[in-house]
Structure 1
Amino acid sequence: MDKFNENQKKVIETIDAPLLVIAGPGSGKTRTLVERVSYLINKKNIKAENILLATFTEKASKELITRISMNIGLGIDISDMYIGTIHSICLRIIDENIEYSYLKRNYKVLDDLEQKFFIYKNMKKFLNIEGSLEFFEFLEKVKYWDRAVELKKWIDRINEEGIDIAEKIGDKRLNYLKKVNNLYKDLLFQENVVDFSNIQFECYRILSENIEVLKEIRKKINYIMIDEYQDTNLIQEKIFLLITGEKNNICVVGDDDQGIYRFRGATVKNILNFEQKFEKGNFKKIELNINYRSNRDIVDFCNKWTDCLYWDGWRYKKELVSGKEIKNKTLGVVKISVKTSENDLKEKIYKFINKLKTTNKIQDYNQIAFLFKSVRNKKVLRLMEYLENKGIKVYSPRSNMFFSREEIKFCVGILLCVFYQSKPFLKNTYYRECFDKVVKEMETDLEFREYIKKMRNKTKSLNYDVENFFKILYSFIRFKSFRKYLDLKEDHILENRKTYNIGIFFNLVNKFDRICELERIKKEDIARVVNYFFGNHLIYLKNSGISEYEDIKEDAPKNSISFLTFHQSKGLEFPIVIVGSLESGPRFIMNEKQENLEFEIMEEFEPKERIKEFDFWRVYYTAFSRAQNLLALTCVEYPKIPIPNFAFQKVYNELSDISQEEFELSKLNLDSYEEKTIKESFSFTRHINLYNKCPRLYKLVNKYKFPELKTEELIYGELVHICLEEVNKMGKNNKKLSIQEVKDKYTKFYNDLQKRYNINLEDKLLKLGMENILDYYINYLDELGKIKGVEERIILSDEKYIIEGIVDLVIEKDGKLGIIDFKTGKLNEYTKEYEEQIQIYAYLLEKKYSKKISKGIIIYINECKDKKIIDVDLNEELILKTMDKFKRTANKIVNREYETGYLDKRACEYCNFRNYCKSYL
């Protein structure tokens, strides 16, 4: 505790009252939250399962898990803690109470793109609702896809706000949206899918409509902590206040000055009005106002920026001070400006960066970040291109360059060449470029050319069904023309951008096949499907702006300058930050019709006429406060054009330029760029076992994110496991199912999987699965012992990584604990790996339960009676030997040792990449 200031200590130790923590930039809020969790567990003996800790992004969540696991001690299980993003916590609550949900087990969560296509696919139904014509005319949307995107936005907003717009039924547009939202939810639940906004809404509905569920979760969760509270929306606040109930042990941490996600439904109302939710005298507010990130010049500049603006009481008044050790001996805030032209500014910026490098003021380009309102702006792209032409690499994954990359053009060109029906699309300039690129490759790769001709003739004849787009594309990875874009030895995001991007494109194509339910393309459908793929789908993707690869652990790759949006930079820090987009103003972009409709739906907290202004101030404050040692504002000061915008004049005009003598480069001292510590998580099956079979395949799947082809065997295994999980959970809750009910559930689960993967199981295999499930349910379930846990999750921290596992079944018999794992394969097939998996689980569960695991069992669900149940040796020496093997493999992965040594040839039989490897070897 000696490492914390007085206010941080108060936050850590204040645990029995509602607490609002106003945490300014660089004030150590994450470190304080981590210590607060450690204080609860280690000093107050609070169980991990009694704590809920939520944050905004997946990256922030992983960082919290890493730091908490390191702080509370290695070998402590935190799997029972409700920790993660708000969405992941809501999903957990839904899963734990699935019988109360409109969703059924094995539901699917739609990502942003899938949600848009789900709406697009059902657009005719939405257009048949009374009022659709007037609604889309009002918003001037004609194309189906544009209408789908528009509806998604309003559906999300309604569910994020958690409001019932039925009260505003007099408005025709709102009445239409209400009917759309109701139909949309019905369609979601019919398909057993859910989007991100409805995850929260469904969680809230379960808790608010089922008093027993709410009582149980209130009994379990005694301490709630919410990070980035200014980024929460109304439905999220309702969920947390509902859970805390009368205990009110809720701590929220945030900074209203950094509330920049209104477009996602977030509202600063939650943080500004938090105190009013509780009785006077039963509430505490603590401010963390010491900024340990930025030097005094930068902190003073940020204070001046907020103080010179007219807030009229719509923010918490605060005065941040710098707690950073004085390191920089010259100005910490400057401008980089010219009064002539954009070209002169680019040259000045380059010379400044070059001087920083040649004088060793920076050791790596990743110490510098450029921040803009948008990285897709033409000026920004020109600056990026200029620096790259000068030999300085630029990392900007959201600059909308994905479809311009040569490797993506090559992939698109392959599909254009294969499908004869795509010929009319060659009038499109982009498609022509892609097509010509592949034709050029055919001149030197004759094997590649012959294969394309073969595939083209097949699709041209219309006499055969053909593979879907994903499988066709995968079949090309064995050719040298394709392999030159795949470099499995290089990990650097920019050096090997091609491989990462191909992984993304493969995922996009795979998603298209799933959305359109294409296991194969029937001969009579080829023309229609191809027309839609090239005429609509790819164009939508290209226009929507697909991001390039971003590593959750690497915000600023080595040897490159980052070009980021203001929003993208949230939560990051850089020694040097150069902020552009100073020509922008609060009303730079305005859509009055959209805005008016939004105000009708939302119960806006701030004055409507001030909202754009407030949002503008907050987003620039967030950008300015990313800087550690040097903040530079940059623009061309055209004499006759008001640049920078009037909003910046008061702070900008007082700044010295880098070319002036007040700024002494020789006295500039910079921090190095420090990556946030995020441990990798390893499970036995997904990581350790896969790596041991083939490090190359591990890298393709887990590093480059190439999708895996689903086979009948995998679908069958998933079906059996889902059904076993269901009957085991019923057994744990002492709920007896009839034979017919088990059969019905099996059939329902299969139908759901069939829709998701577009794969049909043979009747013989389907029947076998049903018989084996019934055999287990009738003859084995009651004999195993008392069920303590089903799909029991374990998370343990090691020094360099986190070990995860999910145990199929935990049982107790005669006072002794045992674990069971189900397999759909045959005995002696991967038996050694299966036994090692049980031994790993035994090690993890002994830590979790603080009790010896006495029995390990593998149940081969497809085997006959005398081979069905196999005992696993769990002697301590053998377990430690297996754990040592696990750790050796995990350390190899952490150290990026991906060279293929021993290769388990059994893994090759169904591997997507076997053709590539034959060519590679």
Structure 2
Amino acid sequence: MFNLGRATDAQKEAITSVNGPVLISAGPGTGKTFTLVQRIIYMIEELGIDPNHIFVATFTNKAAKELLTRISNELMSRNIKNINVNEMYVGTFHSLCYRIIRDNIEYSELNKNLIMMDAFDQQYFIYNHLQSDFEKIENIETILGERGVWKKAEILCTLFNGLTEEIIGPKRMIQLDSLQIKALGEAFQIYRGLLKESNRIDFSSIQSHCLGLLRNEPKLLQKYQEQFVYMMIDEYQDTNYIQEQLIFKLSKTNNICVVGDDDQALYRFRGATIRNILEFKNKFPKGECKEIKLVENFRSVPDIVDFYNKWMHETETDSFPPFKWDKFRLEKTIIPHKEKEIEAPAVLKVSERTEEKWHQKVLQTIRNLEGSILDYNQIAFLFNSVKSEEAKNLANFLEKNGVGVYSPRSNMFFEREEIRQMVGMLLLLFPNYCSDFQLGKHAEWLQSELESYYTECVGDALKLVRKNYNLSKWLKANQERHKHLEENLDYAFSGLFYELFQFDEFKFYMDTSLSKGISDQRPVRNMAIFSKLLAKFEYNHRISVFTHKNFQWVQTQFFNNFLRFLFSGGIEEYQDESEYAPKGCVSFLTIHQSKGMEFPIVFVGSLKRSPIKNTNPILERVKKYFSNRESFEPEEQIKIFDFWRLYYVAFSRAQDLLILACAEKEGRHGPAAQGRIPSIYFKPYYNSLIEYDSTQIDFNEYKFSLVKNADLKETYAFTTDISAYERCAMQYKMYRILGFSPVRDASTMFGSLVHETIEDVHRAVLRNEIDSITDKQIDVWFDENYKGLVDRQNSYLQPRTLETAKGQVKKYVDTHRDKWSHIQEAEVELSIIEPNFILKGQIDLLKTDGNDIEIMDFKAERKPTPEMLGQVEYDKKISQYRKQLQVYAYLIEQKYGVDVKRMRLYYTNEKEIDPYITFEKDNAEVDKVVNEFTSVVEHIQSKNFNQRTSNVHICRDCDMRFYCNRAK
């Protein structure tokens, strides 16, 4: 019998209710993730369901990683082996849709190497096309108004994303009489065309492309319907219309289990709709959908549970306009699992009449807590926005008084010393621009705030220059070169950025040990983020080097526009997913950011707020014309509902102590907020609380929990992790761990081009389209792949090199044309579950020859020989490949229940000798190899990155050669 362990009766019912539609209404702290994990294990172990038939959609990447970690740990604890976690579709909707697109790209209008845009990329892309494409549309001013160009781009982003998520296309909009909606339709049509032309995809259109594939390709839809027999959707209250369509399109069994809490619905502003969870049962015949309520809270002490229950239930008071939830809430009352152990109240308020006194009182409260907690990370402050003056002023005050604050979303990036110094050095490196901005010639673009910031940055950089003769000498040489540029250079901004790390003032940041806390790591993490921003600019403008022609334009575009937009929009700092809350700091989080988290002690701020409407009027108009659904919640009630849900989430994060905190000063909202803080909406709850007084309340009476262990199991790949670390641990640290963006070179493009085109050949074979594999079709695949790689990497290959690459593909096809029937599978993903990590890999080709199974890996290079590399390097290289293939063979045997006889490397660029290197399967070596790889992962996880390569060829192509003093 399946061991259900500590599960409650409600959880047991949820775990074992597998067939048919199920709605699990899971309140805060009721063991939702535990239930999901056990449900999946129950399906695999007890019911024998193939993991390949399970589809699990989560809301965030972190939630997906946590789910995979807990699934793999549970599999190990139950001694369930031979489960390839890669076979399970577990991830966010966007990642799962992207996986479907990627695996079936040949059916899509997109090409391989499609370019994924984040929010900034999308807005910057629209900005770059604003004048040439969008502002020419008749009546577009009815949408954009008289605003700055960056704001106009932001408006179009919001509208395009909203239309995509509501599945509203431009054709019907263009035919409407409304001048505004017609203009929007034309803009949307142009935008879609620009995306297709440049092979780009934005975040919201990932799902629409996936839905389009399923609608347009019946065979593909049938394949996935047969595969996804069981579907589980987490955080269902935060799904949107297109996600609901995807769910019901993919499922033909109706084995759909949705999990969520309508009281914690927060993402209407991103297109989410509460009706998905409230109307879920109505999608099926009456009585068919089982509803299970998880209401026993394991997180919070009774006082806290009582407080947020009261918040949701007592909404008809004399203090503010009363309202009823009616049918727009699933009725529930959360029940505390914990018993009340102390008399002291677990919900308090901390207030003062002025901001200054309030800061002092909050600090003193933290000081009083120090004797009862082990670390500051047990304390979290929640705000509607950590960018608000309330949050930033409090954070600055606490840090000045010795309390570290972790607030990555407070937009402090450009205020950090290391970033001011780097921006200042870049300004000084371009003396013509620097002189012009100081003379006010760019004032119209920069405006006073950014102009003052640049002045401050230059001042900070000059302090460094005056202290370091070598830095001063290097700067002057570059200034002289840049002042009268008459030739093309071999670098752009990124090249200069990396050169600066040869100097102690910047090397100091890079030397930071990753064993230190997040506050100490912040400078080097910010430098890595800055490298990515430079890479974005150079990528978006196709800038690989400075030339005599582009030099002046590039400078003004970078400083006047690109950095200005980043500065105005703000940049988030690094967030470490491996730690639940960084040690030595209190956490400052937005309420949205805190969703799904819990802390022993929670301060809730932003109590001056009142309900505000948070919908886009243009989108609302379009939806009324074209949406397939009538409006759901009463329009006048939406802002009230959303306000209540937001603070319900805030209050329910606390485990042992909840503190409502504010300075009770005059509010800015006049009569609407009754002139005081907190606003009228908090008054009845706030006024019922006891003010914290250290003479009356002793925190030593409380029993504060420790911060939850994140326990996220990382995934490591053979090539990008194991081999990369062994090649050079320092390089691995900089690129893979810290995330510095390398200056790309063309060396990787050749191999990618050959590999991708051979992959196209294999895909055609597996689709039983062998007759299509002609020289003409190979040319088509090759050219499409090259175009995609050029767009993606901003690199080009010489015509002769292109012919060589294409020749390698055609040679492979010619020599294997009579063996296509041996191909069993291509691009096979595999994984090993270890106690502390997941090791994964991908095999290029799986073949059969009679009863023999063979795996093959492709190398787009000449076959190495001892004469070419030297005997030591040759043995090292071949040994690494052999070890990797031995483990791949082992995993194939586990997955398919077959014996692998041979493992082969095929060198596509070998013309003179046998292009193969063949290894025989050696079972005795597998355990040894797995242990070796485990040892490498342990070094990575222990943050041991001191080893540096002695191979001059590796150093020559590495941007970190300046930092490592190996540039020469």
Q: What is the TM-score with the length of structure 2 in the denominator?
A: 0.92
Match of 1:460 among 483, 491, 501: 483
Asked if 1:435 corresponds to 2:469, the answer is no
Look up the match of 1:355.
Answer: 368
Look up the match of 1:775.
Answer: 811
Moved more, 684-693 or 456-465: 456-465
Alpha-carbon contact 2:170-2:186 (below 8 Å) kept: no
Look up the match of 2:90.
Answer: 83
Look up the match of 2:303.
Answer: 297
Q: Give, as a single letter, the amino acid of the residue that structure 1 aligns with 2:410.
A: S
Residues in 2 aligned to 1:105 and 1:516: alpha-carbon distance in whole angstroms: 21
Alpha-carbon contact 2:514-2:943 (below 8 Å) kept: no
Q: Give, as a single letter, the amino acid of the residue that structure 1 aligns with 2:885.
A: I
Residues in 1 aligned to 2:277 and 2:264: alpha-carbon distance in whole angstroms: 11
Q: CA deviation at 1:762?
A: 2.1
Match of 2:756 among 722, 727, 746: 722
Residues in 2 aligned to 1:341 and 1:866: alpha-carbon distance in whole angstroms: 83
Asked if 1:839 corresponds to 2:886, the answer is yes
Q: Give, as a single letter, the amino acid of the residue that structure 1 aligns with 2:28.
A: P
Look up the match of 1:543.
Answer: 568
Look up the match of 1:389.
Answer: 400
Alpha-carbon contact 1:694-1:904 (below 8 Å) kept: no
Alpha-carbon contact 2:27-2:334 (below 8 Å) kept: yes
Alpha-carbon contact 1:402-1:548 (below 8 Å) kept: yes
Residues in 1 aligned to 2:455 and 2:949: alpha-carbon distance in whole angstroms: 44
Q: Give, as a single letter, the amino acid of the residue that structure 2 aligns with 1:799.
A: P
Alpha-carbon contact 1:458-1:464 (below 8 Å) kept: no
1:312-370: CA deviations, max 9, x gaps? 331111100011355555211111112x211111111111111111x2x1100000000
Q: CA deviation at 1:80?
A: 1.4
Moved more, 815-824 or 23-32: 815-824
Residues in 1 aligned to 2:967 and 2:9: alpha-carbon distance in whole angstroms: 60
Alpha-carbon contact 1:308-1:650 (below 8 Å) kept: no
Q: Secondary structure at the match of 2:844?
A: strand
Alpha-carbon contact 1:582-1:648 (below 8 Å) kept: yes
Moved more, 720-729 or 170-179: 170-179
Q: Give, as a single letter, the amino acid of the residue that structure 2 aligns with 1:634.
A: A
Residues in 1 aligned to 2:966 and 2:745: alpha-carbon distance in whole angstroms: 23
Match of 1:161 among 163, 166, 186: 166
Asked if 1:916 corresponds to 2:963, the answer is yes
Q: Secondary structure at the match of 1:638?
A: coil
Q: CA deviation at 1:483?
A: 0.9
Q: Give, as a single letter, the amino acid of the residue that structure 1 aligns with 2:135.
A: L
Work out the number of aligned pairs and report it: 914
Q: CA deviation at 1:766?
A: 1.5
Look up the match of 1:258.
Answer: 264
Asked if 1:319 corresponds to 2:327, the answer is no
1:125-165: CA deviations, max 9, x gaps? 1222222123222xx4x322211111011000011122346
Look up the match of 2:20.
Answer: 17
Q: Give, as a single letter, the amino acid of the residue that structure 2 aligns with 1:729.
A: R
1:3-42: CA deviations, max 9, x gaps? 1001111111111111111100001111100111101111
1:270-303: CA deviations, max 9, x gaps? 1111111111121111100011011111111110
Match of 1:820 among 846, 856, 862: 856
Q: CA deviation at 1:387?
A: 0.8
Q: CA deviation at 1:895?
A: 2.0
Q: CA deviation at 1:549?
A: 0.4
Alpha-carbon contact 2:111-2:788 (below 8 Å) kept: no
Residues in 2 aligned to 1:905 and 1:135: alpha-carbon distance in whole angstroms: 57
1:635-691: CA deviations, max 9, x gaps? 122378321111111211111111176644231110011222201111111111111
Q: Can you give the 5+ residue segments of structure 1 that lack an aligned partner in the other structure? A: none
Q: CA deviation at 1:51?
A: 0.6
Look up the match of 1:449.
Answer: 472
Alpha-carbon contact 2:955-2:966 (below 8 Å) kept: no
Look up the match of 1:694.
Answer: 728
Alpha-carbon contact 2:233-2:258 (below 8 Å) kept: yes
Alpha-carbon contact 1:75-1:797 (below 8 Å) kept: no
Look up the match of 2:444.
Answer: none
1:432-489: CA deviations, max 9, x gaps? 1111222221112121112122222222213022322112211221112221222342
CA gap of 1:805–1:765, structure 2 versus 1, over 3 A, is: same
Look up the match of 2:142.
Answer: 134
Alpha-carbon contact 1:421-1:531 (below 8 Å) kept: no
Q: CA deviation at 1:785?
A: 5.4
Alpha-carbon contact 1:395-1:563 (below 8 Å) kept: yes
Q: Give, as a single letter, the amino acid of the residue that structure 2 aligns with 1:261.
A: Y
CA gap of 1:782–1:365, structure 2 versus 1, over 3 A, is: farther
Asked if 1:512 corresponds to 2:537, the answer is yes
Q: CA deviation at 1:919?
A: 7.1
Residues in 1 aligned to 2:925 and 2:613: alpha-carbon distance in whole angstroms: 67
Alpha-carbon contact 2:844-2:856 (below 8 Å) kept: yes
Q: CA deviation at 1:597?
A: 7.0
Identity level (%): 36
Q: CA deviation at 1:595?
A: 7.0
Residues in 1 aligned to 2:453 and 2:34: alpha-carbon distance in whole angstroms: 49
Asked if 1:376 corresponds to 2:417, the answer is no
Asked if 1:51 corresponds to 2:54, the answer is yes
Look up the match of 2:788.
Answer: 752
Asked if 1:188 corresponds to 2:195, the answer is yes
Alpha-carbon contact 1:855-1:872 (below 8 Å) kept: yes
Look up the match of 1:856.
Answer: 903
Q: What is the TM-score with the length of structure 1 in the denominator?
A: 0.96
Residues in 2 aligned to 1:329 and 1:859: alpha-carbon distance in whole angstroms: 73
Residues in 2 aligned to 1:595 and 1:419: alpha-carbon distance in whole angstroms: 48
Alpha-carbon contact 2:114-2:792 (below 8 Å) kept: no
Residues in 1 aligned to 2:698 and 2:682: alpha-carbon distance in whole angstroms: 24
Alpha-carbon contact 2:859-2:907 (below 8 Å) kept: yes
Look up the match of 1:484.
Answer: 508
1:183-213: CA deviations, max 9, x gaps? 2112212211111111100111111222221
Look up the match of 1:800.
Answer: 836
Residues in 1 aligned to 2:967 and 2:349: alpha-carbon distance in whole angstroms: 52
Q: CA deviation at 1:376?
A: 0.9
Residues in 1 aligned to 2:754 and 2:68: alpha-carbon distance in whole angstroms: 32
Residues in 2 aligned to 1:656 and 1:304: alpha-carbon distance in whole angstroms: 16
Q: CA deviation at 1:842?
A: 1.6
Q: Can you give the 5+ residue segments of structure 2 that lack an aligned partner in the other structure? A: 316-322, 441-450, 667-673, 865-873
Q: CA deviation at 1:630?
A: 0.5
Alpha-carbon contact 2:512-2:520 (below 8 Å) kept: no
Look up the match of 2:354.
Answer: 341
Residues in 2 aligned to 1:738 and 1:594: alpha-carbon distance in whole angstroms: 49
Look up the match of 1:37.
Answer: 40
Match of 2:769 among 735, 738, 757: 735
Asked if 1:638 corresponds to 2:665, the answer is yes
Alpha-carbon contact 2:269-2:615 (below 8 Å) kept: no
Q: CA deviation at 1:794?
A: 1.5
Alpha-carbon contact 1:517-1:757 (below 8 Å) kept: no
Moved more, 28-37 or 737-746: 737-746
CA gap of 1:709–1:834, structure 2 versus 1, over 3 A, is: farther
Write out aligned runs for 1:595-634 (5 A): 604-634=631-661
Look up the match of 1:885.
Answer: 932
Look up the match of 1:425.
Answer: 437
Look up the match of 1:112.
Answer: 119
Residues in 2 aligned to 1:750 and 1:920: alpha-carbon distance in whole angstroms: 31
Q: Give, as a single letter, the amino acid of the residue that structure 2 aligns with 1:869.
A: Y
Alpha-carbon contact 2:406-2:586 (below 8 Å) kept: yes
1:754-785: CA deviations, max 9, x gaps? 12221111222221111101100111254375
Residues in 2 aligned to 1:490 and 1:382: alpha-carbon distance in whole angstroms: 29
Alpha-carbon contact 1:624-1:631 (below 8 Å) kept: yes
Residues in 1 aligned to 2:830 and 2:714: alpha-carbon distance in whole angstroms: 15
Alpha-carbon contact 1:367-1:673 (below 8 Å) kept: yes
Look up the match of 2:318.
Answer: none
CA gap of 1:598–1:497, structure 2 versus 1, over 3 A, is: farther
Residues in 2 aligned to 1:344 and 1:728: alpha-carbon distance in whole angstroms: 71
Asked if 1:495 corresponds to 2:520, the answer is yes
Asked if 1:236 corresponds to 2:243, the answer is yes
Residues in 2 aligned to 1:591 and 1:51: alpha-carbon distance in whole angstroms: 37
CA gap of 1:496–1:841, structure 2 versus 1, over 3 A, is: same
Q: Secondary structure at the match of 2:254?
A: coil
Residues in 2 aligned to 1:174 and 1:594: alpha-carbon distance in whole angstroms: 9
Residues in 1 aligned to 2:711 and 2:577: alpha-carbon distance in whole angstroms: 11
Q: Secondary structure at the match of 2:632?
A: coil
